[in-house]
Amino acid sequence: MTDYVRKILSSSVYEAAIQTPLEQMELLSAKLGRQILVKREDLQPVFSFKIRGAHNRIANLTEEEKARGVICASAGNHAQGVALSSTRAGIRSVIVMPTTTPLIKVNAVQRLGGEVVLFGDGFDAARAQAEILAERHGYVFVHPFDDPDVIAGQGTVGLEIMRQHPHDLGAIYVPVGGGGLAAGIALLVKFLNPDVKVIGVEPEEAASMKAAIEAGHPVPLDQVGLFADGVAVRQVGEETFRICRELLDGIVTVSADEICAAIKDIFDDHRAITEPAGALALAGLRRDIENGTAPATGALIAVNSGANVNFDRLRYVAERAEIGERAEALLAVTIPEQPGSYRSFIRQIGARAVTEFNYRYAQGDKARIFVGIKLARGDAEKADIISHLVAQGLAVTDLTDNEVAKLHARHMVGGRVGGLNNEMVFRFQFPERPGALLKFLEGLNDEWNITLFHYRNHGSDYGRVLVGVEVPAETRESFFSHIDEIGFPYWDETENPAYKQFLHLA
């Protein structure tokens, strides 16, 4: 430990990296009743802590090694650190990246002067290829985590935390991929104050350190999920395992939904967007507080490790964040297939906001709807809603944690239906406020049967609904007069090719 602490204290990381702030999470602290802070490594020049270890390793190269050039394997953050540090030192850098790497990271590496080679569908395949190229061309391999200089560079994060918050510190939560950051922080923190807990956090679908500790040695995972690509490592390093097994106080694993909720927490408090791996530690911190397993006293700190996320990934994050923080329930409910059933059901929901409502007509006396409901009290409120609906004689299936429902079924409710010769389809738009959906439904007369209904609250100022209605030709004039009186803007989409091809049975 003494040797590592000496390396950390003499590290040259600040030639390339900055000391990042330790910021209060005011909103989340008030919500969870604990002092919570976040270490903003997303503010580094390459938007990730990885610049620390990469630069420290490159700064310690011999002149002969610099002449040979360097190579590394990385899903993006280590790659950017290596590229930036190498370019500044006038060293050639070759970066092998998995083909699944977000484009934002590939482009960033190229802008920083790295020569990108895309290979394999994960970090381990990329690393194997990098080792082959290093042997073939004589490059110096810069390991992303299992190297003493890299570990020491990452340890400077712990040094800064202990300087920024030297007293009343309960625990530091650290994201774990290969283990370099966790090992470096644990070495420094435990040297200075053994009473401070250092807790690693891993995704459930890539918990390689947890598997290694349970096995007593590093073991390869059979499969690694790629959502948190910055920590998607199949097997941790020998050196990082040795340190983490001895010094970490525990490992917490979290779901992708919990990571999405933590991304939202950071945005709500700091208006900053992190990558999934960047919010991983905060997700673990929240899990420990909610489970009652966090240290009882002292501030709790989460390391926000990076912000390199593709913009289009945010659609998935937004969709899953409220489920991850247990703020949305997804239910399948069977109601009578008869006019007025929708209004009756929405009244049973009460003043709660409906986030989604999907329905497609099916012949028979029962209708099945897919509904999302915003929760203020998490699972306890969901249980109350289900109990109330069941007491009203409705069949309810909880789909909140059903992956097929969350990823696919919610977008596939519908299809072509026979026997609807008089169906017309309309888009409606109405101001998005509590009770707006019920007001809209109450404005539709039971004289016309609803055959299709899709509504999703996207958090905007206006709710948008797609509605199918059976309108016999002889009643169309009165129908249009009726919907004109409702007063909401609408568009007739009966001839829309998307409806014609996918929802209408000719």
By annotation, the residues acting in catalysis are 50, 305
> What amino acid is encoded at 282 in this protein?
L
Beta pairing partners, 466: 427, 454
Q: How far apart are CA 305 and CA 226, in angstroms?
A: 17
SS3 category, 306 = strand
SS (H, E, C) 384-423: HHHHHHHHCCCEEEECCCCHHHHHHHHHHCCCCECCCCCE
73, 96 Cβ separation under 8 angstroms: yes
H/E run at residue 338: none
Nearest CA to 72 out of 47, 89, 50 is that of 50
Q: What is the DSSP string of 216-262?
A: TS----S----TTGGG--SS--HHHHHHHHHH--EEEEE-HHHHHHH
What are the backbone angles phi and psi of residue 440, rounded to the nearest 5°?
A: -65, -45
Helix, coil or strand: residue 89: helix
CA separation for the pair 383, 441 (Å, rounded): 26
Region class of 76: left (phi > 0), else alpha (psi between -120 and 50), else beta: left
- Could you tell me the sign of the dihedral formed by the alpha carbons of 467, 470, 472, 475, in that order? negative
Residue 20 identity (one-letter amino acid):
T
Tokens of 454: 């899709």
Q: How far from 266 is each of 104, 276, 298, CA to CA, in Å?
A: 21, 11, 20
Integer angstrom CA distances of residue 168 from 43, 86, 162, 417: 25, 39, 11, 64
